[in-house]
C-alpha cells in the first residue's frame, strides 16, 4: 500500500494530475529513510532535512514531525517485509502551468515503501567500481530536490561502464556521487567535503562523522582537490540505502595504497562494522 494525499491504496490505483508541478517542473522535494527490522534509522534528521528542503523552496511542509512519523509508522506496518526503504515526496501541487508559485494550492504528498536494497557480500568484501563525471548540476545541491536530471545523467554514465556510482567533480574538486556522499581516507584520517551548497548533507554522512568521533577515528572536513583524490588510501560512498561502501576502482584505476590496492582498506572495515552495529542496535 502507498500513501497519496491522505489516502491509502495499492500503487496501481494511485493517480495524480498531469498538471502536478512535480510532473511539469520537478517542483518538489523528497526524502528516503532506511528501515531496519521495521524500525526507521535516524528518522528525525530525515524529517528535519525535509523541513529545511521545503523552506529552501518556499513550500509549506504539510505535516508536523509527529504526523510524518505516524504516516511512516503506518506504511511500515502495511508491508510484508522487515527491512524497507521509505521514499516520500512533496510537490507544490496541481495548478495551471505557470512558473510562478500558485496561490491556495495543496501540496501533493506521495509515500511508498520498498524492500531495502541489500549490498552483496562481494560488494562489501571487494568494494565497487565508480566513474568520474563533471558535476553539471545547479548550485543548490543541498536541497533534496526531486529535479535530479544532473544526478541521473551522471549515474547513467557510470552504469554504462559497469560502475555502481559516479564521483562528481566541480571546478577541480570532488563533490559527491549521484545518490551518495563520498569520503577519502588519507593515512588514518577520514576526509569529507564541507556540507555546502554543492553537496547534499547526507544523514549517513552525519552518521559517519558521529560514529568516527565516538570511535576515536580522525575525521576532517575540507575540500578535496581532484589531484589529491587520486592519491587517497581509501575512498568510500555513504547513503541511506547503502550505509558505507568502499570504492576500490575509479575510472578503471585501482584505489588505495599498495598494501590493499583495489580492496577495501582497514579504515573502511572498521567504519563498516561500527555502522552495521549502529544500524542493527
Ligand X SMILES: Cc1ncc(COP(=O)(O)O)c(C=O)c1O
Q: Residue 171 region, left (φ>0) first, then alpha (ψ -120 to 50), else beta?
A: left
193 φ, ψ (degrees, to nearest 5): -60, 155
- Shortest CB 17 distance to ligand X, Å: 26
Task: Provide the grid cell at 73.
Answer: 509508522
By beta-carbon proximity to ligand X, the closer residue of 32 and 101 is 32
Question: Residue 142's closest CA among 209, 224, 56?
Answer: 56
- Shortest CB 277 distance to ligand X, Å: 18
By beta-carbon proximity to ligand X, the closer residue of 40 and 93 is 40
- Interface residues toward ligand X, by CB under 6 A: 32, 151, 176, 179-181, 200, 202-205, 238-240
What SS3 state is found at 155?
A: helix
CA distance readout (Å), 276 to 119, 134, 211, 268:
12, 32, 11, 12
Task: Provide the grid cell at 268.
Answer: 573502511
- Shortest CB 104 distance to ligand X, Å: 31
Catalytic residue check, 52: no
Catalytic residue among 144, 214, 218, 269: 144
- Shortest CB 105 distance to ligand X, Å: 26
Distance CA 278, CA 212 (A): 12
Question: Catalytic residues, which ones?
Answer: 144
Amino acid at each position: 500500500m502507498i500513501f497519496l494525499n491522505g489516502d491509502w491504496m495499492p500503487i496501481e490505483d494511485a493517480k495524480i494530475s498531469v498538471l502536478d508541478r512535480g510532473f511539469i517542473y520537478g517542483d518538489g522535494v523528497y526524502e528516503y529513510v532506511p528501515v531496519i527490522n521495521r524500525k526507521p534509522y535516524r528518522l528525525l534528521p530525515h524529517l528535519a532535512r525535509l523541513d529545511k528542503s521545503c523552506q529552501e523552496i518556499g513550500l509549506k511542509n504539510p505535516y508536523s514531525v509527529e504526523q510524518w512519523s505516524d504516516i511512516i509508522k503506518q506504511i511500515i506496518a502495511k508491508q510484508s517485509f522487515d527491512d524497507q526503504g521509505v521514499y516520500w515526496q512533496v510537490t507544490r501541487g496541481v495548478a495551471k502551468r505557470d512558473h510562478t508559485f500558485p496561490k491556495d494550492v495543496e501540496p501533493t504528498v506521495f509515500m511508498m515503501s520498498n524492500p531495502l536494497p541489500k549490498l552483496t557480500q562481494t560488494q562489501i568484501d571487494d568494494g565497487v567500481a565508480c566513474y568520474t563525471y563533471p558535476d553539471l548540476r545547479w548550485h543548490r545541491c543541498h536541497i533534496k530536490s526531486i529535479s535530479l536530471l544532473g544526478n541521473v545523467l551522471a549515474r547513467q554514465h557510470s552504469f554504462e561502464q559497469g560502475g555502481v556510482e559516479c564521483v562528481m567533480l566541480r571546478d577541480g574538486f570532488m563533490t559527491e556521487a549521484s545518490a551518495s556522499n563520498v569520503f577519502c581516507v588519507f593515512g588514518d584520517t577520514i576526509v569529507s567535503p564541507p556540507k555546502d551548497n554543492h553537496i547534499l548533507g547526507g544523514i549517513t554522512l552525519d552518521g559517519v562523522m558521529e560514529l568516527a568521533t565516538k570511535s576515536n577515528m580522525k575525521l576532517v572536513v575540507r575540500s578535496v582537490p581532484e589531484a589529491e583524490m587520486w592519491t587517497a588510501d581509501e575512498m568510500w560512498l555513504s547513503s541511506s540505502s547503502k550505509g558505507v561502501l568502499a570504492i576500490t576502482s575509479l575510472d578503471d584505476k585501482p584505489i588505495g595504497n599498495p598494501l590493499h590496492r583495489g580492496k577495501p582498506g582497514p579504515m573502511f572495515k572498521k567504519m563498516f562494522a561500527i555502522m552495521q552495529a549502529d544500524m542493527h542496535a
